[in-house]
Amino acid sequence: MQVTTKAIVLSGLKYGDTSLIVRAFTEQSGLKTYLLKGVLASKKGKIKSAYFQPLMQLEVVAYHKNKGTMERISEVRVNYHYESLHTNITKNAMTLFLAEMLANSIFEEEENQELYQFIEASLQWLDTHDEISNFHLYFLLRLTKYFGFFPQMGSTDAPYFNLLAGEFVYSTSLDPILYGENLKFFKMFLGINFDELHTVKMKKVNRQELLKSLILYFELHLQGFRKPKSLAVLNEVFS
């Protein structure tokens, strides 16, 4: 079946000497894996390997067999031209990290337009703003809404957040919890939007600790989730 759909690139893996295996989150069909034969060898072809950098926003014409096998792309164009996402060092490190987080979190081959539109709009915001040191924290927290484990908002005055239960609690247990300064920032992110991110003033250590807790939160609630290897690069850039 031929499909024209918007797609966000999650990963690209060299296959053989000249080909790429690309995983992309598509607006119409969810997660798809494409085999791009010879794309690394062809300099004059319509499909360029540069199109498949992490989190590129594309429009593709593809043939979907929907049998769990690799699909084929016949045409591609850039749907949104980034201004700074791949050229700014900080944003590029964040891009690699978020692409890996999304690749490790999205598994369904089915349409999810709300999730697609959230990711699409969020990346465009990141591309066009400068104060972005808290972006990844807020983005990951909001992402949990679409995966079904957004924090339960009852008892937000409680002194702890139970990461396993996904709720605010008044007593500790053997479950991993958020508390103290990190919980304060966690609550702040729950009550703002992207344009207010710059109002949350965090120290490097708090940012790293909260990110570590958010990754654990994903690990506890998403079966098959793997910790991102690019986390160390991101922490280095923000150190």
| pLDDT for res 239 | 63
Q: Measuring CA to CA, how many Å separate 49 from each of 34, 62, 178?
A: 13, 16, 42
| pLDDT at res. 40 | 87
The full set of domain ranges for the chain reads: 1-81, 83-239
What pLDDT, on a 0 to 100 scale, did the predictor assign at position 67? 77
> What's residue 136's pLDDT?
96
Per CATH, the homologous superfamily of domain 83-239 is Recombination protein O, C-terminal domain (1.20.1440.120)
pTM over 0.85: yes
Task: Tell the CATH topology of 1-81.
Answer: OB fold (Dihydrolipoamide Acetyltransferase, E2P) (2.40.50)
Residue recorded with tokens 């598994």: 107
Please identify every stretch of the chain with a pLDDT value under 70, giving residue numbers as ranges.
Answer: 239
Q: What is the pLDDT of residue 234?
A: 86
pLDDT at 47: 87
Per-residue confidence (pLDDT) for residue 82, from 0 to 100: 97
What Å distances lie between residue 117 and 55, 57, 113, 124, CA to CA? 13, 11, 6, 11
Domains 1-81 and 83-239 share a fold: no
